[in-house]
Amino acid sequence: MDSRSSELAVGPAREDALPASAATAVKIVVVGGFGVGKTTLVGSVSEIRPLTTEETMTEVSVGVDDVRGVEQKSATTVAMDFGRISINEELVLYLFGTPGQQRFWFLWTGLFEGALGAVVLVDTRRLESSFDVIGRLEDGGVPFIVAVNVFPDAPTHPLDEVRTALDLPASVPIVACDARSRGSSRDTLLALMRYLYTLSTQSAAAPVAASAATE
Amino acid sequence: MTPSPINDASSSWEQGGPERLYVITGGRGAAGRRADLDLVTLVVARAAARPEMQPEHASILRMCHYPLSMAEISAYLKLPFSVVAILVSDLLAESSVEVRAAVRTAGIPDPELLKAVMYGLQKL
């Protein structure tokens, strides 16, 4: 009896259920190294306690990993924490935190497909770990902003210095963020949305600008 | 009491070992899976769970009384997304669930969609 009931997976608590009218969902990806505060940021703005989904590493990824000698492989499963924000009665926003290290890029294919954009969360004490991530997002054509998580014990750097250190194009926004704060995390997401909005209105106007330039 | 081999086997079974995943999906790989399912595809049950169903299928129908994303189903079932995608594809094939497709923007998202998200975030 007991063992039978423990097999039955329980869904969300009633208060965590979406309205029946929820019709579409969009996603934003928060990417960064271990301990940079991805789950903290997600948890700060999520209306549900962050949940964890996992994916199994493909054999190809394991092979690449072994060649690189990054880590002894015992675990073949990678967890991603995520949260949820109901935008309105029909629209739901999901936030996924994903590790930035190259050996986890196998997760990214389905994750970034259809995503609105990404927040690259960085720790100024470990900036070098963000180079690969930024390069990969640029190559993949994923729009992103950079958020510098402000740790109490980390030296503060002017954002311009971080931009230079990351070799970030002038067009990509960079903001300071306190991932523990709901307001600051929300503002970080809004900064991404404003950037995307600018891109969307620019791309709509682009054909006109192009034809004007040729005249 | 020393743990019996049976107990050891059942604990790795519980933890979602490869054998369990293989059994749940009937050994099917991506062949059993619809390509249009995303982590944020919303799933809604359109039929009640039946006693003869595989427990995982029944669990999905029970938890999707209200819309639930593929990612949330994966989290509550403690199964990888790729396995959940196969299970939901089964339920779609027998019309037990309906899916509400994720917005999949090709390149830059629609400005109206972005405005709606901004408005929602500002209310947080």
Q: Kindly list the residues from chain A whose CB atom is less than 8 angstroms away from the CB atom of residue B39.
A: 27, 53, 82, 94, 96, 110-111
Q: Kindly list the residues from chain A whose CB atom is less than 8 angstroms away from the CB atom of residue B113.
A: 26, 91
Tell if the CB–CB gap between A12 and B68 is shorter than 8 Å.
yes
Q: Does residue A40 contact residue A180 with C-beta atoms inside 8 Å?
A: yes
State how beta strands A77-86 and A51-56 pair: antiparallel
Q: What are the angstrom distances between the C-alpha of A185 and each of A10, A30, A143? A: 30, 11, 18
Report d(CA B90, CA A97) in Å as an integer: 29
B102 touches chain A (CB under 8 A): yes
What is the phi/psi pair of residue A75, to 5°?
-80, 135
Residue A83, both tokens: 């949260």
Report d(CA A161, CA A163) in Å as an integer: 5
Q: Does residue B94 contact residue A101 with C-beta atoms inside 8 Å?
A: no
Q: Kindly list the residues from chain B whose CB atom is less than 8 angstroms away from the CB atom of residue A117.
A: 109
* Residues 128-157 in A contacting B (C-alpha not used; CB under 8 Å): 141, 143
ipTM confidence score: 0.84
Instruction: Dump pLDDT digits (tens) for B80-89.
Output: 998 999 999 9
pLDDT: which is higher, A113 or A82: A82
Instruction: Dump pLDDT digits (tens) for A11-70.
Output: 999 999 999 999 999 999 999 988 899 999 999 999 999 999 988 765 444 444 444 444
- Among A19, A52, A110, A25, smallest CA distance to B42 is for A25
Rounded average pLDDT over A178-199: 96
Element (H, E) at A131: helix A131-140
Report d(CA A31, CA A101) in Å as an integer: 9
Tell if the CB–CB gap between B80 and A56 is shorter than 8 Å.
yes
Please count the other Cβ atoms lying within 10 Å of the Cβ belonging to residue B9. Answer: 12
Residue A149, both tokens: 């998580």
**DSSP helix/strand/coil, B45:** strand
Place of tokens 């991805």: A38
For position B106, what pLDDT does the model report? 61
